[in-house]
Amino acid sequence: PHSNLPAPFQSNSLSTNRVSSNIPKGGTDDGATWTYPSPQMFYNSLARKNKLGDTTEDDIESVVALHNNMNEKTWYKVLQWEDLLSSSSSGQKGELGGGIKLSRFQGRPSDLSPKAYFKHYILGHPLPFDRHDWIIVRSDTGEEQRYVIDYYYDESRAKTTAESAMPALTDREAVQSILVDVRPALDGVQSLVQRAVVMPMARRGIMSSVVKDTEFTPLPLQPTTHMKTQVQESLQVWENIQHAVKQSKQMSEPKSMVLPASAVAEEEKDENNEEVMKLSKEEAIQVASNFSKLLQQCSEARQMMNNCSSEDECAKASLALTMCMAQVVCPIQHSALSSQLNVDVDESKEKEVLEYNAKVDAALENVALCVQGNDVKVQLAKRDYGDLFS
């Protein structure tokens, strides 16, 4: 898929391998489960939504492992709820959760759930850093149930162990700092009874003949002493989330983080007229080194571009120059395009040909954007470190 191509501004290769979850997928009868995005897909998604922040390419493997582990932990808590609710309604016993499947889900990071609102504004609890709504389908009845999940971070419980940084998929104890609050959505009176009566009775072993006991442990409503000190930080995270979501909604199409050369002059200063686009000396040295290589390796392609006369000839010369430059300054993007061009395609299959052409176009666009981004860096380096180019 296009989402597995390297981003235009990416420097290091990322894995394109995807991991199968343990979460059954709704609408399937063959035991299929949901598949997690690859590190490359995850990185591209964050970049497209302007959510990379301080996350580097070196962090992505760990971020994906944490994401997948968090979802598995969430699913286990949903299973605990469903195991209780199915037994209380039908009295049937069997596998945990009664064979439910996840039909669909929605990320709602900018929507504060009623419970999270109450915990924060009434009890002084930190805000969640994310919210999901999961809709499960019960295999025996086909009935759907929406679950609301709030995700909190408790810095005081963070570990520096290898297991917490790169947790195994189903290790529910590896990451203690991410707290998951899972409960049925209050979409009716029945859900209210389940949350206010059925679950508390089950946890206390009351009326075991009617309600199955459970090992489910809800998050406390009241914040701990340590969490009270993290309220201000959670507010800052919340503001950042609101800003990112607002920017994402304003985008009519995916935006590149690379500015075109013509925009450098307008974008290089902030509201106070202070320069904000700068390269470090180390970055400038690398840019100057690559620029020298370009002059040597791409002189022939550049000459072809300068001497072309017809539109078709100039288009071919421009492509040749872009590909030559990409070999030096955008090796990952160049390699991805080269690999795609070498894919065997059955031209008798129209769908396969269309998919192939779309992938080539996407890979070529990434190469062009990367080369364009390097041009911007060259201009910045010449402006601030002109002696490197003499």
Residue 169: how many other CB atoms lie within 10 Å: 15
Residue 69 binned pLDDT confidence (cut-offs 50, 70, 90): very high
Segment 333-353 mean pLDDT = 89
Residue with tokens 């690398």: 286
320 vs 381: CA distance, rounded Å: 25
Segment 237-245 mean pLDDT = 86
The answer to whether 174 and 164 have CB atoms below 8 angstroms apart is: yes
Segment 270-290 mean pLDDT = 74
The answer to whether 202 and 84 have CB atoms below 8 angstroms apart is: yes
Model pLDDT, residue 224: 94
pLDDT, tens digit, 9 for 90 and up, residues 50-59: 778 788 899 9
The answer to whether 138 and 82 have CB atoms below 8 angstroms apart is: yes
Q: Using DSSP, how many helices (H) and how many strands (E) does the chain show? A: 14, 6
Segment 228-252 mean pLDDT = 84
pLDDT, tens digit, 9 for 90 and up, residues 100-152: 999 999 999 999 999 999 999 999 999 999 999 999 999 888 899 999 999 99
pLDDT at residue 33 greater than cutoff 90: yes
pLDDT, tens digit, 9 for 90 and up, residues 200-233: 988 888 867 667 778 899 999 999 999 999 999 9
pLDDT, tens digit, 9 for 90 and up, residues 153-192: 999 999 888 888 899 999 999 999 999 999 999 999 999 9
Radius of gyration of the chain (CA): 26
Nearest to 290 by CA among 328, 321, 324: 328
* More confident site: 139 or 257: 139
Mean pLDDT over each residue of the chain, to the nearest integer: 86
Candidate ranges 79-93, 186-200, 258-272; pick with highest mean pLDDT: 186-200
The tokens for 323 are: 């590909």
Segment 75-90 mean pLDDT = 80
Model pLDDT, residue 256: 43
Model pLDDT, residue 255: 43
Model pLDDT, residue 260: 45
Q: Which amino acid, 268?
A: E
pLDDT at residue 1 greater than cutoff 90: no
How many Å is the maximal CA-CA distance in the chain? Answer: 89
Annotate 49-62 with b (16+ C-beta within 10 A) or e (fewer).
eebbeeeebeebbe
Q: Which amino acid, 347?
A: E
Q: How far is CA 189 from CA 126, 134, 166, 216, in A?
A: 28, 19, 41, 22
Q: Find the range with the poorest average confidence among 74-88, 124-138, 314-328.
A: 74-88
Nearest to 383 by CA among 282, 279, 286, 257: 279
Segment 361-390 mean pLDDT = 90
